[in-house]
Amino acid sequence: MLQVMQRDHKLRSYTLNSVCAHFLGEQKEEVHHSIITDLQNGNDESRRRLAIYCLKDAILPQKLMDKLMCLINYLEMARVTGVPFNYLLARGQQIKVISQLYRKAFEQGLVIPALKSEGSDDQFEGATVIEPERGFYNVPIATLDFSSLYPSIMIAHNLCYTTLLDNKGIEKLGDIDYITTPYNNAKFVKVHHRKGLLPTILEDLLSARKKAKADLKKETDPFKKAVLDGRQLALKISANSVYGFTGATVGKLPCIEISASVTAYGRQMIEKTKQEVENHYTIANGYQHDAHVIYGDTDSVMVKFGVDNLVDTMALGREAADYVTKKFVKPIKLEFEKVYFPYLLINKKRYAGLYWTNPDKWDKLDTKGIETVRRDNCLLVQNVIETCLRKMLIDRDVSGAEEYAKKTISDLLQNKIDMSQLVITKALSKSDYSAKQPHHELAERMRKRDAGSAPTLGDRVAYVIVKSAKGAAAYEKSEDPIYVLENNIPIDTNYYLENQLSKPLLRIFEPILGDKAHSLLAGDHTRVVQIATPTIGGLMKFAVKTATCLGCKTPLSKNDTAVCRHCKPKLGELYQRQLDIVNKLEVHFARLWTQCQRCQGSLHQDILCSSRDCPIWYMRKKAQKDVQDATNLLERFNYAW
């Protein structure tokens, strides 16, 4: 399940506890490894605790698998691609494409050559990203997308290993119909001579995706919908990796003529689309305004038709998509997908907009590339940018957004921000770094402290930036959050303002406020500064997951955790030791529980919510459920409390 999670979901942390909190809303029974032997050698009570821990650790992955329908999805993938089930986790995308190629080749009596893979550093040219006209747009912007651009190019032009012609082939075959692609005049025979294997595979994948999407439309259960959405996405990725496979020089069967022709066609198509739209939707042709393409990436164009209302923009978008589709070979299709209104275009691959598919109600706030969707920022940055964008784009309350940003800066400088909001995570992806890096240097330091618990290659390293000598580099100031808490090391709040918060804030405010945006970073709210010592809030002491004593079932008083004071001596010293360890681990939970899981209200000293509408009630419910779960587990194994 760890592999599944890492493959299928982009998360900040992949620990069992964190993943379960995210998808299931429940957590592990934590037992530190150092006391397992003692628990086993202890008494009935301690062994019971150990048993619950083991059962819970076993049932959680099972619950994840069920809830995310992993087995069904993976089985389906295995069937579509024809690879053994375990390949889906043990191996990559290539084997899936190869497997499908073998199938189709066998049907046609073809043999696939066993090439020696060479690998090369040269890249071929990729897609076009249209130079954005950056700014804030308070008019509807229509988005037109080619659906499955690369697969549809390969199908439309019959691009395949089995259709590629070289000069010898053309001489030998004489009178033959072929096309010449925009890459290096590569030539491919037309479909009536021979239909390529790749186009056939792609058609299969796309029709399977069509079916998944149709099922998705019919489904009403939100969770099953999410799963079907995941399936159609998987099929889309599989279809797109066919193109990737042909361009993989380290792969089994690279063919740059195919991959480079695909991207070359793509570049021509996005350019042609821009031209067609801009040339047709003009005042000269009887439209109200001259349309203008303000941005586009690979397979999409963002069009400003100049109209100020959603209904007309959507009508024009649909019409334009059909108009352009007619200029291309089947099955290439340009689709009108959505309108952004308003739209904040910050840079290439960086934008935010309110997303509309029907003119009555917006669907969502869509953000691409900016801090809200990146995992290498701290939560503070993510949350403040997200909140400001919502205020600006949904509420259209720019001054409210300014106020919020100023308040956050003020809170940060006064050390009122929870440390869990300041944790930055980055993947440790290489063992040798040419320049020193904060996360790598920290991993080294942690390794020297305790090699067992330090992050290793591939792990995500969590760190905060702490106060240090003036002018010290970031890699000298990165520190393990747990170490910071244990040693009461002050946080460098100024670093968070200067290096984390200020630029992202300026980037979203400047297009609207202009130079005035800089006032966000200088003013009274930046004056009050307090010495920063780390605080922990919003914690979930995992031991406090029960409302009644785990031993005698009497209600727990506020100061008790897990067991009442009468039962506590039964667990004795072991229990204390575990609590100590738990307290040190609290920061892990702090990352998860900074908001009430029910009403999203801020949490402070405890998991309990501060909102009046959502008091202890939720925790009681959850605690009761946890006890019920544990009891059920025990009953299944003929235990009883």
Q: Summarize as ranges the residues that interact with DNA (CB under 7 A).
A: 10, 91-95, 117, 119, 123-129, 149, 237, 240-241, 243-245, 247-251, 259, 263, 297-300, 346-350, 367-369, 373-376, 425-430, 432-440, 460, 473-475, 499-500, 503-504, 507
Characterize the bridge pairing of strands 141-146 and 300-304.
antiparallel
The phi-psi region of residue 57 (left if phi > 0; otherwise alpha if psi is between -120 and 50; otherwise beta) is alpha
Query: In whole angstroms, how close is the CB of 439 to DNA at the nearest point?
Result: 7
Query: In whole angstroms, how close is the CB of 429 to DNA at the nearest point?
Result: 4
Contact indicator for 502, 405 with CB cutoff of 8 Å: no
Query: In whole angstroms, how close is the CB of 150 to DNA at the nearest point?
Result: 7
Q: For residues 469 and 640, which CB has a smaller minimum distance to DNA in the complex?
A: 469
Who contacts 100 (Cβ-Cβ below 8 Å, separation ≥6)?
Answer: 81, 82, 201, 204
Query: In whole angstroms, how close is the CB of 236 to DNA at the nearest point?
Result: 10
Q: For residues 377 and 578, which CB has a smaller minimum distance to DNA in the complex?
A: 377
Q: What is the DSSP string of 485-521?
A: HHHTPPB-HHHIIIIIIHHHHHHHHHHHHGGGGGGGG
Q: For residues 48 and 440, which CB has a smaller minimum distance to DNA in the complex?
A: 440
Q: For residues 272 and 566, which CB has a smaller minimum distance to DNA in the complex?
A: 272
Distance CA 18, CA 150 (A): 37
Q: For residues 471 and 514, which CB has a smaller minimum distance to DNA in the complex?
A: 471
Query: In whole angstroms, how close is the CB of 415 to DNA at the nearest point?
Result: 20
Contact indicator for 143, 300 with CB cutoff of 8 Å: yes
Q: For residues 94 and 526, which CB has a smaller minimum distance to DNA in the complex?
A: 94
Q: What is the DSSP string of 57-69?
A: HHHHHHHHHHHTT
Query: In whole angstroms, how close is the CB of 149 to DNA at the nearest point?
Result: 7
Q: For residues 39 and 412, which CB has a smaller minimum distance to DNA in the complex?
A: 412
Q: For residues 128 and 578, which CB has a smaller minimum distance to DNA in the complex?
A: 128
Query: In whole angstroms, how close is the CB of 233 to DNA at the nearest point?
Result: 11
Distance CA 593, CA 538 (A): 6
Contact indicator for 391, 397 with CB cutoff of 8 Å: yes
Distance CA 626, CA 28 (A): 10
Q: For residues 242 and 316, which CB has a smaller minimum distance to DNA in the complex?
A: 242
Query: In whole angstroms, how close is the CB of 341 to DNA at the nearest point?
Result: 17
Across the strands, what pairs with 59?
none
Query: In whole angstroms, how close is the CB of 430 to DNA at the nearest point?
Result: 5
CA contacts within 13 A on the Cβ side of 117: 12
* Cβ neighbours of 431 (radius 10 Å): 9
Question: Cα torsion at 199, 205, 209, 215 (round to 10°)?
Answer: 130
445 DSSP 8-state letter = H
Q: For residues 59 and 427, which CB has a smaller minimum distance to DNA in the complex?
A: 427
Contact indicator for 225, 214 with CB cutoff of 8 Å: no
Characterize the bridge pairing of strands 129-130 and 292-297.
antiparallel
Measuring CA to CA, which residue among 294, 265, 264, 266 is closest to residue 278? Answer: 294
Q: What is the DSSP string of 439-476?
A: HHHHHHHHHHH-TTTS--TTPEEEEEEB--STT--HHH
Query: In whole angstroms, how close is the CB of 121 to DNA at the nearest point?
Result: 9
563 DSSP 8-state letter = B
Q: For residues 438 and 534, which CB has a smaller minimum distance to DNA in the complex?
A: 438
Query: In whole angstroms, how close is the CB of 90 to DNA at the nearest point?
Result: 7
CA contacts within 13 A on the Cβ side of 57: 12
If DSSP states are collapsed to H, E and C, what string results for 289-314? CCCEEEEEECCEEEEECCCCCHHHHH
CA contacts within 13 A on the Cβ side of 98: 17
Contact indicator for 305, 291 with CB cutoff of 8 Å: yes
Across the strands, what pairs with 358?
361
Q: Which secondary structure element, helix H or strand E, spans residue 532, and what is its range? A: none
Distance CA 433, CA 498 (A): 25
Query: In whole angstroms, how close is the CB of 271 to DNA at the nearest point?
Result: 13
Q: For residues 434 and 557, which CB has a smaller minimum distance to DNA in the complex?
A: 434
Distance CA 455, CA 482 (A): 13
Q: For residues 228 and 234, which CB has a smaller minimum distance to DNA in the complex?
A: 234
Query: In whole angstroms, how close is the CB of 460 to DNA at the nearest point?
Result: 6
Query: In whole angstroms, how close is the CB of 576 to DNA at the nearest point?
Result: 37
Q: For residues 434 and 559, which CB has a smaller minimum distance to DNA in the complex?
A: 434
Gyration radius of the chain's alpha carbons = 29
